Homo-oligomer: A and B are copies of this chain.
Amino acid sequence: MSRASIELATQLRERAVADGTAYALIESLTTEVGPRLPGSEADARAVAWAKARFEALGYDKVWTEPVTFPKWERRSERAAVVGAHAQPLVITALGGSPAGDVTAELVRFDSIAALEAADPAALRGKLAFVDVPMARSRDGSGYGAAGPVRSRGPSIAARKGAAGYLMRSIGTSPHRVANTGITRFDADVTPIPSAALSLPDADQLTRLLQRGPVQVHLALDVGWNGEYTSQNVIAELTGREAPEEIVLIGGHLDSWDLGTGAVDDASGVGISMAAGHLIAQLPQRPRRTVRVVAFANEEQGLLGARAYADAHGGADVIARHIIGAESDFGAGRIYGFNTSAPADQRATSDAIAEALRPLGIDYLQDQGSPGPDISPLAAKGGAWGWLGQDGSDYFDLHHNADDTLDKVDPDAVAQNTAAYAVFAWLAAESEGGFGSAPKAAP
């Protein structure tokens, strides 16, 4: 890495930590577009917003690429305990749930293993209630552990004949907000209405069950409804020497519908858009191309990222995707950096780590993973960078109504922007790489 490149990285870092562009973008997207459920009317407004913003921010090229997917709608949802302890419950349907109106007795499970072990005779016609708490942690590892409650639980319950599925939200908020998120039903089961309870409501049901049988009425008017074509919105700063080599950063433009998608993931979009914008203001373009992608429909299965990898993931193209990094873990400060580069190709990673250190970012060479929308490229052999955000509070907000602008700290956003700008600039300036090489198809 040249001395001049490092000096410009320092300038970039110092300018970025004092720059409000990313926060202003987050404010604009969450305020003007609001929630951005894939396929909703707001999806198209978000695409138009991203295109216009990229164009205004000094990128050399801006374009869109289509992403087609089935559309899921949430029209109404409610639930209540019925009978002697009648009372309403705060719930939200899981994405992918079918509609349904069920009144049935609860059968509680404190783990997915317990649900799997259940006798179908005990579940038939009942509402499965899976009540697994999620642990709070900086790296969000509790999310992975609780994940199967949402991803696999509904299918397991459906296969055993349950009439519906209720789960404790995968989240850490003690407030009366329920966390949605996608679930997929196995092909061999008939989907059943499936919803998540706020944590206080899950606790309430557990207390009621200690007193005797509990009947719940669950009424969901939600479901798949046709197809929709959204767009990945893509912008580039064209590399001055090796324009065909690409350093990719980004976030996802869609969100769930309950909040305004501020930490998930207007923040990632704003941070990566602003990082490119700051690089665009340097006296010269980086050696390689810096590409910023606002991915479509991450939430329902990385559909924009898969479309991108299909379009740009040929063996030749993977080698030219030098590295990719996505900001999709909220708006907390970045505490750690790493890349997937193998041991004999760490020079550029080492230089980036050095330039990130003044931001309070440690070089954590045994940690990290590709962001969700980078993972389809990574599966094909693309290298990834990890700029690890403090996610201690992320699951207070993730996929629930509390994911709103007031939860975003402008100073943390500026630190993130500085990190992404330094990372993208140095990765694009470097002559070295990170080991991107096409993998044989698995």
Contact = CB atoms under 8 A, between A and B. Distances in A.
Interface stretch (A14-22, A80-88, A233-241): A80-88
Given A176-B177, A177-B175, A259-B176, A35 B406 contact: no
B31 A404 contact: no
Contacts of A31: 85, 204, 207-208, 211
Interface in A34-51: 34-35, 41-42, 45
A1 to B, nearest CB: 42
Nearest to A41: B86
Contacts of A259: 176
Contacts of A177: 175-176
B207 A176 contact: no
A33 interface: yes
A34 B27 CA distance: 38
A62 interface: no
A90 B401 contact: yes
A260 interface: yes
Contact of A260 (B87, B211, B260, B406): B87
Contact of A200 (B32, B85, B406): B406
Contact of A32 (B35, B85, B90): B85
A402 interface: yes
B260 A204 contact: yes
Copies in the complex: 2
Interface residues of A, number: 38
A42 B173 CA distance: 28
Given A34-B81, A81-B34, A200-B404, A42 B87 contact: yes
A57 to B, nearest CB: 19
A203 interface: yes
A428 interface: no
A226 interface: no
A377 interface: no
A208 B402 CA distance: 18
A200 B34 CA distance: 12
B175 A85 contact: no
Interface string A156-186: 0000000000000000011111000000000
Contacts of A341: none
Given A200-B405, A207-B27, A260-B204, A87 B176 contact: no
Contacts of A407: 174
A86 B404 contact: no
Given A27-B207, A207-B27, A404-B176, A35 B260 contact: no
A211 to B, nearest CB: 7
Interface in A318-363: none
B402 A176 contact: yes
23 contacts: A27-B207, A31-B211, A32-B85, A32-B211, A33-B85, A33-B87, A34-B87, A41-B86, A42-B86, A45-B84, A174-B407, A175-B175, A175-B177, A176-B177, A176-B401, A176-B404, A199-B406, A200-B402, A200-B405, A200-B406, A203-B405, A204-B404, A204-B405
Interface of A: 27, 31-35, 41-42, 45, 81, 84-88, 90, 173-177, 199-200, 203-204, 207-208, 211, 257, 259-260, 400-402, 404-407
